[in-house]
């Protein structure tokens, strides 16, 4: 009759077995590993470090960085421009426009884009009209075929000397100060304007408002 089994003959629990080669885990898991562990991620077929880099992901990251950089750059430029003196971005108010003999009778518009002026020559004088409508400040257009200035904003009309005759403009356009430089060229100063206020005397014949020719 067989005697009682000894401890050495009893089967050992699976969890107590160790790898004979020493290359496996010391403890073998039975069932499903706990959620949130690296074992659970591996068992579910999920990556434990994150998505592997790909060309699409690199392009997306590059696009995000370019967008952020452009946005910050635009804000920096706006901030920088706001705190700089505005004179750096505005045309000068004093400048030369050539000799009186350079201008024929009538209206010359070549300085409109650069200095916002028109040079007007009549038989006895040269004067400069500041190209600003006296209604709301728009820049009128010179209509050579109609011999008049016409404001595109609200329809104000001025004759060839800048005197209003139609539309809502309350008075003629202003004229800039003129003088001759030592070299004989015309010097214009748009910071000094001569006006003809509504219902008041005109300043268009004041010294400096024109040059005699």
Q: What is the CATH number of the domain that holds 140?
A: 2.102.10.10
Residue 126 domain flag: yes
Residue 36 domain flag: no
Residue 76 domain flag: no
Residue 147 domain flag: yes
Scored b (16 or more CB within 10 A) or e, 107-145 reads: bbeebbeebebbbbbeeebbbbbbbbbbbeeeebebeee
Residue 135 domain flag: yes
Q: Which domain holds residue 152?
A: 94-212
Residue 57 domain flag: no
Q: 195: burial class by Cβ within 10 Å (0-12, 13-18, 19+)?
A: middle
Separation in Å, CA 133 to CA 39, 140, 146, 152, 180? 79, 6, 18, 10, 27
Distance CA 133, CA 156 (A): 8
Residue 137 domain flag: yes
pLDDT score of 88 = 46
pLDDT score of 73 = 85
Residue 165 domain flag: yes
Distance CA 134, CA 166 (A): 12
Token reading at 7: 């401890």
Q: What mean pLDDT value characterizes the chain?
A: 81
Distance CA 162, CA 172 (A): 6
pLDDT in tens, 11-39: 554 544 444 444 444 455 455 555 555 55
Tell me how many domains the chain contains. 1
Query: Is 95 a residue whose pLDDT tops 60?
Result: yes
Distance CA 64, CA 184 (A): 60
pLDDT in tens, 119-145: 999 999 999 999 999 999 999 999 999
């Amino acid at each position: 009759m067989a005697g009682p089994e000894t401890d050495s003959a009893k089967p050992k629990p699976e969890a107590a077995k160790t790898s004979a080669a020493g290359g496996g885990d010391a403890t073998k898991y039975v069932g499903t590993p706990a959620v949130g562990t690296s074992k659970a991620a591996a068992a579910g077929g999920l990556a434990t470090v994150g998505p592997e880099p790909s060309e699409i992901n690199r392009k997306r990251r590059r696009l995000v960085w370019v967008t952020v950089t452009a946005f910050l750059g635009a804000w920096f430029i706006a901030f920088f421009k706001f705190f700089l003196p505005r004179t750096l971005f505005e045309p000068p108010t004093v400048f030369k426009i050539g000799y009186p003999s350079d201008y024929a009778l009538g209206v010359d518009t070549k300085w409109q884009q650069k200095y916002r002026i028109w040079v007007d020559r009549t038989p006895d004088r040269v004067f400069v009209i500041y190209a600003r409508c006296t209604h709301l400040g728009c820049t009128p257009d010179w209509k050579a075929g109609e011999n008049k200035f016409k404001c595109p904003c609200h329809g104000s009309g001025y004759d060839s000397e800048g005197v209003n005759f139609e539309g809502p403009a309350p008075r003629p356009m202003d004229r800039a100060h003129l003088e001759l430089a030592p070299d004989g060229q015309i010097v214009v100063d748009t910071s000094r304007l001569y006006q003809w206020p509504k219902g008041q005397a005109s300043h268009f014949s004041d010294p400096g408002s024109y040059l005699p020719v």
